Structure 1
């Protein structure tokens, strides 16, 4: 159903995977799109597809969010085109494989910047206008990993995802009653090319079907949760059960289980 007034949502990491699925979901609901990624050609193909299919406007912006001034540059380009941002999905991200000491600090600094600083900066710079208009949507794509003990390998991944969960909870409370909804999406094992990039595709292929979720299904559930202003949404009953176990088990036991199983899901 198309909204009475046209709304536009900015999605980072929109060229593939869950970002593209979220773009399709919002386009099907009548939202215009601002699609952001480093791969402009793929963005333009997706933008054309969604514009033609759903009769919406889809704008493509090439941005290297690793650059420290990327957010200001991106928002400047959006403003120059006269676009208003009514929604924000912080989806850009990746997994950095290996143990912490395997990589130089510069690579870890880039990871923290993209995964934690950029979402925080975008929210801070876009939320005030949303509050002023009395309407806004902010989704931070976190992970089931944010509810679990840290793992061996991909050392900072659970840490930054936990940060996004807590950040979303706090911002949700602070913006309560303003018309701006904030939600952390915490997917578990979603079938996307993310796992090809971070080297865990073989592990994914060994998981039973009941532990896997299609990206389009995850996107639909996530959008519904954001509309309900659910501060933290874990997609799928199996994932919610795993997160519950992570909270209920004694910390020492859950850490031992993670240490034993890390190599099944993390490339060390």
Structure 2
């Protein structure tokens, strides 16, 4: 059942009717920050190649517009009452609430929740950074309205489908040289915030890439072995040779020997998904 279905307005019955209402903004329509039904989203994405970039951007613009809800106003008014109260407990509570940027925006006459339409300037040339910006916004706003969170997730799906997803991405992968495959995996880890070291065949000790990232509980080290196969089998000797805790990233679909407990394996399905999302923005490094 769709989220908040009981609050849906009855002034639309199709996606096109809903979109026209949201686009024109002439009357109240709910929901307006997200596509009402998952089926409509699936159908839109299915036909997205037939839609122009301008048309797709119009939809994204509607889903990412700035907003102020009635709840935001009442919450701000409560904050002001607490702030101006002569009761010590109230003023102390207001101090704890004062970090909320919504209150500062409303005090300046702005919307409670800023829009994210500026990410459209990253399309179509830089869709991955557009997605990263949207994900960072959700991460930075823990009290974001549910409709906005759902809408942003829909925007990410739309951007992936229209600007990133590729046909035959795995076939493209198999045309890479083994060393280029290693650079690709290194680039993907860098895009996830890791510091990486690409090792050479003469000194890697079985590890093609060493990735490091600072976590709240300490430093995480990931030792990565990359295997680009055009067949559907992997020798058990290859797995046994990689004894360190880490990742063995392979282009194959399956392997009957994946019983090692100390290593994690990423197979074709996950790798194909990665490639579809990142290949358009990938710039393989030139190593000397």
TM-score calculated relative to the size of structure 2 = 0.21
* Greater relative contact order (CA < 8 Å, ≥ 6 in sequence): 1
Report which of the two structures shows the higher radius of gyration computed on alpha carbons: 2
Name the structure where strand makes up a greater proportion of residues: 1
TM-score calculated relative to the size of structure 1 = 0.22
